[in-house]
Amino acid sequence: MNDFPGRLLDGYRAFKDGHYGREQRRYRTLADQGQAPATMVIACCDSRAAPETIFDAAPGEIFVMRNVANLVPPYEPDGAFHATSAALEFAVQSLKVKHIVVLGHGRCGGIRAALNPAAEPLSPGDFIGKWMDLIAPAVANVSAIGLDGPEQQTELERAAIRNSMANLRSFPCVRILEDRNRLTLHAAWFDIADGELWVMDPETGEFARAP
């Protein structure tokens, strides 16, 4: 126990005495009856953009999948390991969520890496580089626009969200349920600096500030 981060233990004690104490009945119900969230959120693993915090979610309210740059890969039943696809499959087929939200955010490190690839990978596996190859066409398109700095980064962050939305629809279970109006797809972008949420118009693909 001595090696366990003290800050986390302090946080746990505060949680147990505060939040858990207030939500104890809810936690026990969730333990006995299982989870039944209506919404899945696919978000970035960035420590500054936790969906549960952004949406002030109660325990059991949202099912969250987080990865680098909130990317959804295309449907590829090839026998390899697919953590995001597995979470999506569970949310849609087992939990039967009604909504899926792809949540991007500003100042995303994965997006920055895609725009400015390092000369050398962080490790021999180059896991980040290979993962960010999922949006290589979007990187090329955004780079051709001629933006630079923060504007270019924001443009790619939002383009990556649109790419993930398109890949979501490559999954038969998602496409079929959406066509039957039993599943709705949404996209949003969170600005870390000012706490604003921007929601994507499903018809135009453009983002506007949430009211």
Report the percent of the chain where pLDDT is more than 90.
96
The CATH number of domain 35-209 is 3.40.50.300: no
Rg (CA), the chain: 19
- pLDDT band at residue 1 under the 50/70/90 scheme: low
Instruction: State how far the Cα of 31 lies from the Cα of 28, in Å rounded to an integer.
Output: 5
- The two tokens of residue 100 are 């899926």
Cα-Cα-Cα-Cα dihedral of 186, 189, 194, 195, to 10°? 40
pLDDT tens track for 4-61: 999 999 999 999 999 999 999 999 999 999 999 999 999 999 999 999 999 999 999 9
Strand order in the sheet with 196-200: 62-67, 39-44, 99-105, 184-191, 196-200, 207-209
Q: Would you give the DSSP letter of residue 98?
A: S
When the pLDDT of each residue in the chain is averaged and rounded to a whole number, the result is: 97
pLDDT tens track for 63-99: 999 999 999 999 999 999 999 999 999 999 999 999 9
Q: Where in the chain is the domain with CATH 3.40.1050.10?
A: 35-209
What's CA 36's distance to the chain center, in Å? 19
**Mean predicted confidence (pLDDT) in 162-186:** 98
Q: What is residue 119's predicted lDDT score, i.e. its pLDDT?
A: 79
Q: Would you give the DSSP letter of residue 38?
A: S
